[in-house]
Amino acid sequence: MRDSTNPGAPLLEVTDLVKHFPIKRGILIDREVDQVRAVDGVSFRVEQGETLGLVGESGSGKSTACRAVLQLIKPTSGSVRFEGREISGIGRREMRPLRREMQMIFQDPYASLNPRKRIGQIVGDPLKRQGIASGSELRRQVQELLERVGLSSEHYNRFPHEFSGGQRQRIGIARALSLKPKLVICDEPVSALDVSIQAQIVNLLDDLQDEFGLAYLFVAHDIGVVRHISDRIAVMNEGKIVEQGSADQVCENPQDEYTKKLLAAVPIPDPRESRERHSGSVQ
Amino acid sequence: MSTEPSAERGPWSLALRRFLRNRLAVAFLGLFVLIVLFVLAAPLWADNVAHTGPNEEHTVEQITVDGEKKDVVTPEGKPIGPQWFGADGKFFLGADGRLGRDEMVRLMYGGRTSLQIGITAALIATILAVVLALLAGYFRGWVDGLIARTLDTIWSLPVFLIGLALGIALAVGGLKIGPLELSSGSIWNPILVISIFTVPYIARPIRGQVLALSEKEFVEAAVAQGAGPVRVMFSEILPNLASTIIVFFTLMIANSMLFEAGLSFLGAGVQPPNSSWGTMITVGVELLNIQPLLAILPGLMIMLTVLALNIVGDALRDALDPRGKARMDAALEFEAQGGIATGQQGATA
């Protein structure tokens, strides 16, 4: 539709993305003494309607990479192309219409919803900000979305503090979907939730993907969760991608030592099997 | 932990209910309302009961008390004492000194001035402080550096001395900057001085809160939806500051009134012949040994108003930030249990 869109290009293509945070020190004038290489030359692509899992331990740069892709923080260097269009470093006004196409689901369902706003506002604000709907039409769309993510349309006038963690995450999902994006970046969407609720949320995301034709960039530190939902997996360690491939390939036949460690850390519900694995793999 | 089942109960109505449960605070809020009504009734009392204005002098007049003629001011310069309703409400609290002005009328009009200065100065200081804090906390970097250092500088000045000097300078010469023109007797002079010096006290803690709030994911969510800095600051962050702002505003009214009383007492605030509770103390002090009420009454009014505002402000803080309280309760409970962390649930439930 958009003139700069290249029909053959992948939905999202990230090339050599770098984000360094300066460490400054100084008495009167700050000098840069060192850098934290949070993301250090990362490349991956996400095709229309597919899920790319991004795994790695905390501090490996996954969240920073997500935020740099969405231009929430300015990347140090590298290219981020959305439908073939370069978005790295473009201005806020140019970015605004593109924000409809890519949304984010956050890790902490308590910090990601403004406690002073009603649910209807939280989910409806994106529509209002982008000038898509207003008035009774806005209300109808929001209530429809709430029902779609497993909440009730009566929740429209409630405040976040009245909901549980799982319900709050559903509100976050409704907010991300309100703009009908093509790409949703899920930054550890289930790691703050109870295990029993994790499955519900993952399944909801799975259903919504089919229904809306969404592409996910799914970030998690638990490779077990990622394997369940992803088509392909990229493993990140210390700001770099150490291994990338189809979900089965990465999980069944890991090439990198770090991936093997991540797989070994997945808890096994059966204690006997768990004991066997540990006696086998630990030298 | 106990989530109320009722729908649509927002943070505000919950806070109101918590506030109303605090009997002491409600009583002092009532007292404050009475004080406000008292000063608002000033023209009614002046026209219908005392039949005199706040600045009208009655030095050589006589009044009839119970059919007996009395001097308002004796030839020795002693003002008449409280007459209550003996003279049909004239000189209810006596005269204020050699000029023979009606003390009751002056007390009411003076309270108006004091409250007006207190509220206006607190309002200006709060608005300025919130805007500065939002800019500093949201943009950080050099914006924060500039604002924070300026506020630190104001903070480090000996407030009362500078306020006094500035107040006197303004009271004598007035002020003229471009279209802004203040005559020497204007009550805007003390308002300006007070509000400038109270800004840092409000801005510093709010800046800290903005810094913390800007890190929250809901701010990132708003940016991801295409909201610009102004939207984020005023529509996402500001509502979360509302409770702090309300508490500070209340406490700052009290603070500004004390500041005004101090400035006026020293002659740098409200200028004669206008009255404020501060200037009335100055006048009353001269006659402390013959008519002590003249100094005590305005002092008492200031004290009651400040006390009421402080208690209401504290209660508002408790009502608006139940989690801060809950955290303290949890800590106390924790200690009571000998430090065993049982049932240490997150405050958010």
Residue B187 has what pLDDT? 87
Residues in chain A: 283
Q: How far apart are CA A265 and CA A246, in angstroms?
A: 20
pTM of the model: 0.86
Residues in chain B: 349
Instruction: Provide the token pair at A231.
Output: 């088509």
Q: Which residues sit opposite A15 in a β-bridge? A: A79
Q: Which residues sit opposite B331 in a β-bridge? A: none
Q: Do B239 and A106 touch (CB under 8 A)?
A: no
* Domain annotation covers residue B271: yes
Task: Tell me whether A106 touches chain B (CB under 8 Å).
Answer: yes
Q: Averaged in consecutive runs of 10 residues, what is the pLDDT profile of chain B (349 residues)? A: 51 88 96 97 93 90 85 87 86 90 94 96 97 96 94 88 84 76 82 92 94 94 94 95 92 93 88 91 90 94 96 90 55 47 35
Residue A7 has what pLDDT? 67
Contacts of A177 in chain B (CB under 8 A): none
Over residues A59-83, the mean pLDDT reads 93
Tally of domains within chain B: 1
* Torsion sign (Cα): A236, A242, A246, A249: negative
Contacts of B226 in chain A (CB under 8 A): 95-97, 99-100, 126, 129-130
Q: Cβ contacts of residue A63 below 8 Å, gap of 6+? A: A107, A187, A188, A219
A78 three-class SS: strand
**Predicted confidence (pLDDT) per residue in A216-232, tens digit:** 999 998 898 899 999 99
| A-B contacts at Cβ under 8 angstroms | 74
Residue B158 has what pLDDT? 87
Return the residue of B nearest to A155 by Cα. Answer: B7
Which of B10, B216, B224 has its CB closest to that of A159?
B10
Residue B161 has what pLDDT? 87
Q: How far apart are CA B107 and CA B281, in angstroms?
A: 10
Which of B3, B224, B240 has its CB closest to that of A115?
B240
Percent of chain A with pLDDT strictly greater than 90 = 72
Q: Do A161 and B216 touch (CB under 8 A)?
A: no
Q: Do B10 and A175 touch (CB under 8 A)?
A: no
Q: Do B220 and A72 touch (CB under 8 A)?
A: yes
Spatial contact of A5 and A84, defined as CB atoms under 8 Å apart: yes
Task: Tell me whether A158 touches chain B (CB under 8 Å).
Answer: yes
**C-alpha pair distances (Å), B177 with each of B183, B189, B227:** 12, 13, 37
Per the prediction, chain A carries an average pLDDT of 90
Over residues A9-32, the mean pLDDT reads 88
Q: Do A106 and B225 touch (CB under 8 A)?
A: no
**Burial class of residue B5 in the structure, from the number of CB atoms within 10 Å of its CB (0-12 exposed, 13-18 middle, 19+ buried):** exposed
**Predicted confidence (pLDDT) per residue in A140-180, tens digit:** 999 999 999 999 999 999 999 889 999 999 999 999 999 99
* CATH number of the domain residue B158 falls in: 1.10.3720.10
> Beta strands A31-46 and B68-71: pairing type?
unpaired
Q: Which residues sit opposite B182 in a β-bridge? A: B175
Spatial contact of B131 and B210, defined as CB atoms under 8 Å apart: no
Of residues A103 and A267, more confidently modeled: A103
Contacts of B240 in chain A (CB under 8 A): 114-116
φ, ψ dihedrals at A123, nearest 5°: -80, -30
Q: Do A99 and B224 touch (CB under 8 A)?
A: yes
Q: Do A106 and B221 touch (CB under 8 A)?
A: yes
Q: Do A112 and B222 touch (CB under 8 A)?
A: no
Task: Tell me whether A87 touches chain B (CB under 8 Å).
Answer: no
pLDDT band at A278 (very low <50, low <70, confident <90, very high): low
Contacts of B13 in chain A (CB under 8 A): none
CA distance A103 to chain B (A): 7
CA distance B275 to chain A (A): 43
> What b/e readout covers A127-160, taking b as 16+ CB neighbours within 10 angstroms?
bebbebbeeeebeebbbebbebbebeeebbebbb
Structural domain span for residue B255: 114-279
Q: How far apart are CA B106 and CA A250, in angstroms?
A: 86
φ, ψ dihedrals at A54, nearest 5°: -120, 110
CA distance A248 to chain B (A): 32
Instruction: Provide the token pair at A164.
Output: 């549980």
Reported ipTM: 0.89
Q: How far apart are CA B55 and CA B274, in angstroms?
A: 7
| Mutation for testing the B interface, residue in A69, A93, A119, A162 having most B CBs under 10 Å | A162
Contacts of B348 in chain A (CB under 8 A): 110, 161
Residue A280 has what pLDDT? 53
Spatial contact of B276 and B110, defined as CB atoms under 8 Å apart: yes
Domain residue spans in chain A? 113-168
| CA angle (A258 as vertex; A255, A260 as ends), nearest 5 | 60
Q: How far apart are CA B314 and CA B248, in angstroms?
A: 10
A237 three-class SS: strand
φ, ψ dihedrals at A245, nearest 5°: 175, -175
**Predicted confidence (pLDDT) per residue in A178-199, tens digit:** 999 999 999 999 998 988 899 9
Which of B224, B236, B242 has its CB closest to that of A72?
B224
* Domain annotation covers residue B216: yes
Residue B345 has what pLDDT? 37
Spatial contact of B223 and A70, defined as CB atoms under 8 Å apart: no
